Structure 1
């Protein structure tokens, strides 16, 4: 059991799980827009997420606290390096315009992590900004990147899906912010810090209603897609409803991050 727990912790701490969630959302984009050439954007997103998330999580600690390289951290460093090489390989497979999109979100990731200006904190610590940057990056990588790579136009349907995905990711992050309420720096001014847990859950619930209502504006409306999104919205709502500060780290870092994987899995199963 100890070995299995260590394996699960490495799987989560090395960002493989969140990378699978990102991969699943790219594949969802392929399903929604009937994109056949989806492998390169999907694997670029997968490996890029591992590199980006590990960089965000461990760079500051390594620089400020001089982390000792425990066995797990050495494994994460090795995985990140291999993922960096894989990210570069799949980056070269992308179309020219897609590479520009990918570069833009790379800059956002760096801005999120590194202080670019003297005596200024990074974007991650800018009050109230973190949640918007993360949600925007997820929409860009999982939706705009494969859309541009496939040469599709940015029509109303794409914009509606982008708004839906932004809302969904935003609510998922709210769950993380509720659980991390006691350990987050008060200066971050996360949503629960500013309005409280109860109001945060109300906001999240209302946003999920918006997530569903937007589906009725889609010109490619189908009942199958609607029912799937209703199921996902209800699942997210339950996780939001039962989120509180003393929840296990696995509640958010494993179960909540599994929701995009579940969504894609249901689509594959029903096809």
Structure 2
């Protein structure tokens, strides 16, 4: 049992779980574009996500609260190095235009952690913008970059999709902001710090409803997309309103981060049912 617990902790703390969540969102984009078998790009996204997230979480300049991981840090470092090496290798096989579109989001990730601004500040320490930076990076990496990779079109549906993805990720970040109230400095001016926990949940609910309603304005719409969007919006609301300041250790880092994976499985199940 202790071995299983150790494996699970490493799985979460090494960012494997969040990387799978990002890959799930990439695959959702591919499914909506009607393309499959893009496993090389999924692996590319998976490796890059682990490298990027561990860089942000465990770099010396990061002010996150992961200080109980000294025993597993060696393994996480080894995993991060290996993922970085294979990510660079696969980058040479990715089309040049895809890499160019990915570059701004990679730069934002670096600026999020590295203190390059005056007074040794990074983007994470700039008041009020933390989750919106994350939402922008995730939306770009899981919608814009995959669309470029498959030579998709930047049409009206693409615009709606990227807005929806941004809103979806921002809402998923709100439980983390509620959790981190006890860790975040007041200068961060996070949404729960500014308006309180209950109003944060109301704000998130408005974003979820907007995310849901935007589906109706798409030019191309299927029953599967309607049903999957309703279901994932409902799940997201349940996790948002179930968030408390004092929560179980893995409520956010496992369960909330599982929502994109749930979304992918919902779509796959609906495709089986209605195909």
- Name the residue aligned to 2:181: 181
> How far did residue 270 of structure 1 move?
3.0
- Name the residue aligned to 2:15: 15
Contact 2:24 2:260 (8 Å CA) reproduced = yes
CA distance in 2 between counterparts of 1:253 and 1:203 reads 21
> How far did residue 6 of structure 1 move?
1.4
CA distance in 2 between counterparts of 1:90 and 1:142 reads 17
- Name the residue aligned to 1:48: 48
Matched, 1:221 2:248: no
Task: Please list every run of 5 or more consecutive structure 2 residues that lacks an aligned counterpart in the other structure.
Answer: none
CA distance in 1 between counterparts of 2:61 and 2:153 reads 41
Contact 2:224 2:267 (8 Å CA) reproduced = no
- Name the residue aligned to 1:145: 145
CA distance in 1 between counterparts of 2:68 and 2:190 reads 30
CA distance in 1 between counterparts of 2:228 and 2:10 reads 31
Task: Please list every run of 5 or more consecutive structure 1 residues that lacks an aligned counterpart in the other structure.
Answer: none
- Name the residue aligned to 2:94: 94
Contact 1:127 1:188 (8 Å CA) reproduced = yes
Contact 2:51 2:83 (8 Å CA) reproduced = yes
Contact 1:19 1:50 (8 Å CA) reproduced = yes
CA distance in 1 between counterparts of 2:60 and 2:139 reads 25
CA distance in 1 between counterparts of 2:208 and 2:51 reads 30
Matched, 1:172 2:194: no
> How far did residue 69 of structure 1 move?
8.7
> How far did residue 28 of structure 1 move?
0.4
- Name the residue aligned to 1:131: 131
Superposition TM-score, scaled by structure 2 size: 0.93
CA distance in 1 between counterparts of 2:214 and 2:62 reads 43
* Deviation by residue 1:238-262 (Cα, 9 ceiling, x = unmatched): 1111101100121000001001111
CA distance in 1 between counterparts of 2:62 and 2:170 reads 28
- Name the residue aligned to 1:250: 250
Paired residue secondary structure (1:93): coil
Query: CA 1:264 to 1:62, structure 2 compared with 1: closer, same or farther past 3 Å?
Result: closer
